[in-house]
Structure 1
């Protein structure tokens, strides 16, 4: 019979050759996908008993790399089925369509299996994770069943089109849930303008409710809410926000950087602890300013915007967000944006007072990083800066001369600085200054009297100073300036601020002493150097600088009649009697944390407690080993190693430390072996460690130190089984 007259052969020539057209790689891909789906079903059945081994976590990490293949390819196949309206329409593309489906089957099984492994890691929103996992598994199983029975689901049949629509729907849901899991529920719409809502009047607006909370809601709630609480932190209520997470409270005005929240915000974007995480919508400079200003002012939840000065940058921010109010007009031109950007740093924020305004405000954040040159360095913007906030910075009387070089200043905040008031007359040069805040400084009524002749000055704040209301009453006849001395009451008792430990450097040598002070006159400072908590009765009273003979943690509190005692302030000080002449590292540090290599251990520069400071030597895969050399023998009896503990950062104390000493590197004997205490789950997350080795006094010219990192993190740690890091920044010999 002529083949052209055979209806069966004429209608479906591909049906007779389908098996022959299936290549070996088709079969291999199909069998791998079949195996992975079978393994996936088995693991799901016994999921509660499954713990992913360490090596398998790398398999889970490929999930983001492969998940887009099945989404695109299977979507294309589903669309192809939908548009094939006649029997003849799919004939010429049938092989291509089968290849698409097979690629989709293979990549879907790999994505589903790797996604299941990835789901065993922490940090994902549970409810979204469960739905994404099961829709991902459904896509993988759905696709392999469709491929296995593709001969029965010919594209022009109505059942095939129903299957295609269902399949596309499942794909879309799985992809959407995956996006929510990675980027948050509002990732797609967050760049769009928010729906217009009724704005509260500026007179009724609260700083937290109407300014701060909306920022947290947009940038933070996705990861820190009632359903998802990364780091055990929830921010959707005032109580939970104030409580903080497992790393501690979010803010602390006694710290130079104002605490954890701003610390994480200012980390480099590539740092894994930077917040918001890379890939999510970041905070603007104005929003960073808002959060910092709110924290510096006491993080009050009841503060009204109307209580702020019009020159306050938070007030200007409120005008931009809420509308209303009155913005002052200025007669000077705007500064070059490039100059503003150049002078902005992580801890000095320069921003316009409001949109389209040439006026600038400056806020300083980190006491530890502040230098007098940071003020003088703003001279290029002297004709545009109208507001400057230096609260809690170590500004001294001699710095007022630099501040007097900003002729457009309307508002100057010097609260809780080191100002004593002897040079306040320098500020008379500021002919436009309207508001000056000196709260918490050591100024006296005699000091502030020099301000009487300033025609523009309207208000001076002298809360928590030695200036009394009765002093002001006698002075009012000489000036129109309004002095604010704070709320006076016989029934309200306030808490004192913590005392200030003046020493910025934690390393003491020679005759160096530890100095304490408090901004409020008449305050008694009590302290301890034995690790105990200071109290108001038995602890030592601070009368003169403290001398120490060994490594010491100083703890101090402030007390005054009629006030609640302050919170504690504390700092660890290292004693360094014998300067190290040279260092040679035996083992190189990890390339990620090289610091200054050999010089790090003897440079006398103490790092802060941030692992990203660039001042720590990091070791993980090798022991830390080094030689310390002295040109002349030193009579030593103690070696102290400064190290870091950051439990969340996988940085633990070493399991063992050996200290060797002798005349040279070829003649050493073991002086001390130390086994530091292991942290437990409840241990302080971040801490500065001092590993001390005491030994019999002897003459030494060479010291060798060896510290062994933790081989496996404990079972309670999120990285259980992984290697721990050790971080070292200095060694001291006494």
Structure 2
């Protein structure tokens, strides 16, 4: 009766997840004990037997606790059974031999065990060896079979009889003729191998689900079918991708590389079109969003898609600003730069005026036609000030990061015809605010990192407005694009998460 209770209890997994922490205790203690024993017997160091006995006691205790936590963790399922059994018995062996080594070494029991000293070195040696083999299998259970030896270099690889290294899938390779590509083999399978197979393969089956073969993917796992042919919105593998990243059911798990909007779009499209194993792209119906996602495959569709976008103000020309008005801005601590001499457009930046506030926005009205880029990050601007900013009819780019702007204020920008870029990093903007501005036809890039916007909203907006790039986190490519977008040319860049 106790076993079913553990399987259904959250306590089992709570305690079980401490296994990776606890398992390091016996590893450290056993190797210290072995090294001290070698040093003592070779005369290199002087250490008492009671000290080694004390270390062995804690190695045995640690190994026992690790075994208990490991067993509870295994109740959650998702592991290859034979490998799990090997790992389990190796762990039990470590604990058993550690207890034997301690018992024959201790003052309390050592003298009471017949031929005790004869068991000591074999028990200590076996406990140490089993620690290494259990660690190998534990790594394979967690990260997939062969994890520890995956990157063995030559010539050791050949000498150990390990097969040649398989090149890991880190990107979807460019497709020369997308229309002739087989959707599952050339598009879907590479995406799954890159983002999903690490946790759903022959040796590691989280949720009893395998995604390394189409038949097994269609079969599903412990939670039922992974996909429902023709219904991506009802398919578990898509719904989980769209959950907030900090949700326990979100896939891939938090901290792992996530699927891009294009990748989710393509997986959803494949499911909606029947999840065929052999149909080509040309044989399936395609929406505009799918066409854009497929277009990215021509240059590799694995990660951030970087595109040069023509500026909405590239052909715009206005009258020059009055120098007195420019000087007034500079006296207020603002930096004013020319963006294009022949267009008379300017950039106004409050990078050195963190105290700039709503009342001072009136200074901008005198040059409202000329302002194309406005940098107000880290200032005192609030929702009230957004009403004034909405009068900058030629505004193309605005930085509002680290300000008090909320959904109520950002909606004021909806009528700006040339606005392509908005930086809302570290603001109170939520999903509602993002959806409000996403419909802006000219908008191409929105940065919402560290805001209240959720990953699920980012994914949903990305699918609804494929021309819009919403960045909700930074990697090297995103940082590069972020810097470029704040540079000194009228050409903007777009990056999709």
Q: TM-score, normalised by structure 1?
A: 0.34
The one of the two structures with greater contact order (alpha-carbon pairs below 8 A, sep at least 6) is 2
Higher share in helix = 2
Higher share in strand = 1
